[in-house]
Each structure stands twice: as C-alpha cells, then as structure tokens.
Chains A and B, each alone.
Chain A
C-alpha cells in the first residue's frame, strides 16, 4: 500500500544518508541495521534487542488511529497518521523511554549500545 504521509525523521534521514555514503566508501559489510516496529492494536510492537548507535528503526502505524512515537528525552517526536510510517536513527547509546502523546498508556523503551564494529556483529 502506498503511504500518504511518509515523513522521515529529518536528522535520522541525514544520518542514514551519511552512513550509506560511508558504507559505499569503505569496503566490508554495513554495520548499521534497520528494524521495523509495528504499532498495532493500541500498542508498540517488540523493539530490537540488539540495538546499536547508527541503527534505524522504522515505525509503522498499522492502526486506524493516529499515534505518536515520542521520546521522553525529547530527542524525537514522530506523528503518524493511520497507516503511515517514519524512521529514526539512533544517535547515542543509552535507554530512551517512548510513549504516544495521544494515548499515554502506550509505552515502550529502547536501549541502544555503542555502534557495532565495522565488519563485526
């Protein structure tokens, strides 16, 4: 399905583009990964267990309701119309609490570790 409102997290998109350029310049497997986390039935789906700085999370709103993916530390705030998706790229290690501004009981937490060594796991 075509999404009406694909709105990438701007900094994330820039970082992702930068990472892509870097990956093209340096041989070896790309270290950064992209994860997809659905938002379904008024809940955030499972978040990646091995999340690293430089990784990207694509949040996909599968609900019929508008949701936000909002960081408690204010580092990002995605507003997703029904069926829309958007990405963030992890910029720093550590935990970040996440909630939906419209439905404050919807919560999750991501924990990022330092970037994977290039070529390593």
Chain B
C-alpha cells in the first residue's frame, strides 16, 4: 500500500496535484498498471530512437522497446486467457500523465542533453516501477500466472535499471 502510494506520488512529481492514494489494487488493475508501465517505456524508447545518434543509447532504447513489447504481448495473451479486462486506475493515470510530461520535456532536448536526460529518466523510471512491483503489485496479485509474469517483469526491469545505470555512469 505504501509502495503503491509511493509509486503514485513518484509518478505525480511532475503534476501540480498528487492523485488520491490508490487502494490495494486488484488483478485487473495490476495488469493495467504493469501494461501501462511497459507502454510508457516503449514510447520513451521510440522517442530515443527517433532523436538519439549515440550508438549505446540507441542500442539501449532498442532493448527497451524489444523487451517491454515482449512482456506486454505476454501480458495481453495472459489477460485474454484469464478473461480479465485490465482496469484503469489512479496509479496508471498518474504514471501516464507523468510520462506524457516527460516525453514533452525530452522532446525539447537534443544531442547529448537528450541522451543524458533520457538515460537518467530510464534509471528513475525503472527504480520506481521495480519498487512498485516488489512492494505492491507482486504481493497483491492473486492469480499465480499473473504473479509469475510480474516476477519475470521484475527480473527484467532490474536488469534494465542496471543497464541504464551503467550507461548513465558512462556519461559522467
């Protein structure tokens, strides 16, 4: 619950008002949050591929688009199989609003400034999502298959965070 609030709060950093704290999410909401987080990072990766000329940044962005698309495809297949309709919720909304603001801010940057800002945001974003996955989403998930997919997601996103941190360090 606290982590859920932390996620919502972190997502809302760029917003003038924080959304009301979300209740313990159900599986339909969890699926929505996880899918939204993946979708956000795919959009960020596509923006980086359109703007960056740095080979390492582009390789990282390609990896983000590829890996998050794979997880989201799996998530879609799973909710279909389970007959669950992902349910929109305040956390997903806060994540999306914050991500839209970030995309707009990054769109104004170019060259090294963009590369740095993109990679720094990737570190922060993955940290936030990993905290939410381990603290709230995984413990709250009821369906074992959904829980399993979230656990795979956590392993994957943890690797992404490490990769982003390595990349961020190389810019210093």
Contacts and interface: CB of A to CB of B under 8 A. Distances in A.
Contact of B67 (A43, A65, A105): A65
Given A66-B66, A104-B162, A104-B163, A41 B71 contact: no
Interface string A91-114: 000000000001111100000000
Given A66-B66, A102-B63, A104-B166, A42 B159 contact: yes
A64 interface: yes
Nearest to A64: B70
A73 B159 CA distance: 22
A82 interface: yes
17 contacts: A41-B155, A42-B152, A42-B159, A43-B155, A64-B71, A64-B73, A65-B67, A65-B70, A66-B66, A66-B67, A102-B159, A103-B160, A104-B159, A104-B162, A104-B163, A105-B158, A106-B159
Interface string B152-171: 10011011101100100000
A41 B74 CA distance: 14
Contacts of A66: 66-67
Given A102-B63, A104-B162, A105-B162, 8 more contacts: A42-B152, A64-B74, A65-B66, A66-B66, A103-B160, A103-B163, A104-B166, A105-B158
Given A64-B71, A64-B74, A65-B70, A42 B163 contact: no
Contacts of A104: 159, 162-163, 166
Q: Specify the main secondary structure of chain B where it touches its partner.
A: helix
Contacts of B152: 41-42
Nearest to B155: A42
Interface residues of B, number: 16
Contacts of B71: 64
Size category, A interface = 10 to 19
Interface of A: 41-43, 64-66, 82, 102-106
A6 B74 CA distance: 23
Interface in B53-95: 63, 66-67, 70-71, 73-74
Most buried by A among B73, B74, B159: B159
A105 B161 CA distance: 10
Contacts of A105: 158-159, 162
B162 A82 contact: no
A105 B152 CA distance: 14
A64 B159 CA distance: 15
A21 B155 CA distance: 43
A82 B163 contact: no
A82 B155 contact: no
Contacts of A82: 70
